[in-house]
Structure 1
Amino acid sequence: MRPDDDRCSCRLRYETETDQLRYVLASIRKMAHAHPRIDNNSIRIRFSDFGQSSMDLAVRIYAKTREWNDYFAIREDILLRIKQIIEDSGTSFAFPSSTLYLSEDAGLDPQKSKAASHAVRAWRSARTLPFPTFSTEMRRSFEDSLKYPPSGSPDDDGPDFESETVEEPLSASPEETGDKDEVK
C-alpha cells in the first residue's frame, strides 16, 4: 500500500549553514534508525539537490506495517519528528521566494571575485582554459585527489586509508522488504 504521493522532500532555506545542514541530516537519520516502526534497511536520507528556492533533502523509509491507517499514523509521526528536528536546528523550511534588494548590502566578496577572474585570465593566457573539457594531462594531475570520506567521519583513518564501505542498498524489492509500506 502506498499513498498517492509517496515522496518526501524537505526543502530548507538557503541561509542554512553547511554544518547546520549536516546536523539536520544526522539527526533525521538517527531518529529514523531509532524508530521502532521503521525498517532500518530502507532508510535513505540525503541532501539531494539545490532547488530553485531551497536546499532539498530526500527522505525514503519503509514503515513496518501492512495496514493503511497504521501506515499514515507512522508517516505522520515521522513527519512531525522531522519538523521538530528542523526547528531545533535553528533553520526552517523554505518556500518559493525571490530576493529583492532594497538597500545596500555586503554583496559579493570583491577580492574573491577578482581572484577568480584573474585565475580564468591566467588559464586563457596559458592555453589551459578547461572548457569544454579539461585536457587529459590536467585531469590526471588532480584525479582522485579529494579526501573521501571527509575528515572527522568514522571511516576517516588517515590520508591513504581505504575503508570498507557500510552496506547501504540503493533500493529493495517488495520481496526483500516483505512488501512493507513506504514512508517518504
Structure 2
Amino acid sequence: MVVVIMGVSGSGKTTIGQLLAERLGCGYSDADVFHPAANIEKMARGVPLEDADREPWLRSMRTAIEASLATGRTHVFSCSALRGRYRTMLARPGEDVVFVHLDVSYGTVMRRLAHRKGHFFDPRLARSQFDALEVPRCAIVADAERAPEEIVDQILAGLARRRDGDSDRGVSL
C-alpha cells in the first residue's frame, strides 16, 4: 500500500507523513525532494508553479510510487496533490494507493508558515494553494487543526476502515 498525505503547504504533510510512517513501521518520502531545482527557485521567489512546472515533478513522484507498489511494502509519501488531475497522474484505478487530505484553515497555515524555518516555500503562495485545491472525493480526510498524534490516529482509523471494506479505495479524482 502507498499512502499519499496531501494538502496545501503548511498543512503538516511532512510532520504527519513522518509520524505515520513511524507508526506503520514503513518508509517515508517527501515530494519536495522530487522537485527540479527550477521549481524550488521559482517558489522561493514567490512565483506559483504552473501545470507545466509540475509535470516533471509529478512524473518523478509517479515513478517512485510505482517502485514502492512493486515492493509490496507500505510506503508513505507527502505531496500537495492539490488538483484531481495531479492525483490521477500519481495513482491509477485499482492500485493500492490511498490519499489522505489534511484539512486545515488558511489562518492556521499562515501561522505555521510564519514559524517555519529553512524551507523554500514563500508564504505569499499560500493563497494560491487554497485557490488551486480541489478537495478529493474519495480520500481519508483528517482534521489538521489537531495535534499530530491525534491526526495520525484519525488516519490509522481511516486505513483500518478501508482495510475492513468500509470505505472507498482512496484513489480520488
Q: Identify whether the pair has TM-score above 0.5, normalized to the shorter chain.
A: no
Larger radius of gyration: 1
Structure with bigger helix share is 2
TM-score, scaled relative to structure 2: 0.27
